[in-house]
Amino acid sequence: GAVVSQHPSRVICKSGTSVKIECRSLDFQATTMFWYRQFPKQSLMLMATSNEGSKATYEQGVEKDKFLINHASLTLSTLTVTSAHPEDSSFYICSAMRVTSGGARYNEQFFGPGTRLTVL
C-alpha cells in the first residue's frame, strides 16, 4: 500500500523560532499534497494544498507568510512554521494524493502519521 511519512513526529521549540515539517510519499509520486491542522478533540482543518512546482493554495484564514509550504519534488512537501508562537501548538497532518488511471474520482489521499508541535 501507499505510505506517507512525516518528520519529525514530535517537536518542541521556543517561541519565535521556525520549525520545518517534512511530508514524504515513500512509494508513489504525488503532485498534490495537503496540509491539515488538528486541535485537541477536533476535526482536521485543511490549511493548504501543496502543488509540485507551483505555489501552494491556502485556505481562507491561513497566513501564507507564517505557514510556508514548499513542494519541490514529487515525493516531498515541507511546511515551515515561521516565528512560532504557543498558539501554533497543534497536531499537523499531511496527506499525499495518488493519481489513478481511472480519473479524478478515484484519486486517493494517503495520510502521514502526524507531527505534534509544541511551542513554549
Partner 1 sequence: AQSVAQPEDQVNVAEGNPLTVKCTYSVSGNPYLFWYVQYPNRGLQFLLKYITGDNLVKGSYGFEAEFNKSQTSFHLKKPSALVSDSALYFCAVRDVGGTASKLTFGTGTRLQVTL
Give me the residues that bind partner 1 (CB under 8 A), please. Answer: 4, 6, 32, 34, 41-44, 46, 49, 57, 91, 93, 95, 97, 104-114, 116
> Based on CB atoms, which residue is closest to partner 1, 13 or 99?
99
- In the chain, where do the E strands start and end? 4-7, 10-13, 19-25, 32-38, 44-51, 57-58, 67-73, 76-81, 90-98, 108-111, 115-119
Cβ pair 69, 77 in contact under 8 A: yes
Minimum CB–partner distance for residue 92 and partner 1 (Å): 10
Residue type, 109: Q
Shortest Cβ 50–partner 1 spacing (Å): 10
Q: How far is the CB of 16 from partner 1 (least distance, A)?
A: 26
Per the DSSP assignment, residues forming a β-bridge with 34 are: 49, 95
C-beta of 54: minimal distance to partner 1 in Å?
Answer: 12
Q: Are strands 4-7 and 19-25 parallel, antiparallel or unpaired?
A: antiparallel
For partner 1, give the closer residue by CB, 70 or 83: 70
